[in-house]
Amino acid sequence: MLIEIKNVTKVFKSGEVETVALRGVSFSIEKGEFVAIMGPSGSGKSTLMHILGCLDKPTSGQYFFEGKDVSKLSDDQLAEMRKRKIGFVFQQFNLLPRATVLRNVMLPLIYAGVSKQKREEIAKSALRASAFPEEFWYHLSNQLSGGMMQRVAIARALVNDPVLILADEPTGNLDSKTGEQILETFENLNKQGRTIVLVTHEKYIAQRAKRIIFLKDGQIISETKIKEKKF
As for how many domains the chain has, the answer is 1
**Is there a contact between 100 and 136 (Cβ–Cβ < 8 Å)?**
no
Question: Is 17 part of a structural domain of the chain?
Answer: no
The CA distance from 158 to 82, in Å, is 12
**pLDDT(231) > 50:** no
Query: What are the Cα distances from residue 90, in Å, to 13, 74, 133, 134, 158?
Result: 26, 25, 21, 23, 13
Question: Is 79 part of a structural domain of the chain?
Answer: no
Question: Is 57 part of a structural domain of the chain?
Answer: no
Question: Is 44 part of a structural domain of the chain?
Answer: yes
The CA distance from 152 to 177, in Å, is 17
User: Which tens digits make up the pLDDT trace of 173-185?
Assistant: 898 899 999 999 9
Q: Give me the domain span that covers residue 95.
A: 32-50+86-225
**Is there a contact between 59 and 24 (Cβ–Cβ < 8 Å)?**
no
The confidence score (pLDDT) of residue 110 equals: 86
**pLDDT(7) > 50:** yes
User: Which tens digits make up the pLDDT trace of 129-172?
Assistant: 999 999 999 999 999 999 999 999 999 999 999 999 999 999 98
Q: Tell me, what CATH number does 115's domain have?
A: 3.40.50.300
Question: Is 78 part of a structural domain of the chain?
Answer: no
Question: Is 153 part of a structural domain of the chain?
Answer: yes
Left, alpha or beta for 19 (phi > 0: left; psi -120 to 50: alpha)? beta
User: Which tens digits make up the pLDDT trace of 74-131?
Assistant: 999 999 999 889 999 988 888 999 999 999 999 999 888 899 899 999 999 999 999 9
**Is there a contact between 210 and 35 (Cβ–Cβ < 8 Å)?**
yes
For the whole model, what pTM was predicted?
0.92
Question: Is 36 part of a structural domain of the chain?
Answer: yes
Strands (E), 48-163: 60-65, 68-69, 86-89
Question: Is 143 part of a structural domain of the chain?
Answer: yes
Residue 22 backbone dihedrals phi, psi, to 5 degrees: -130, 140
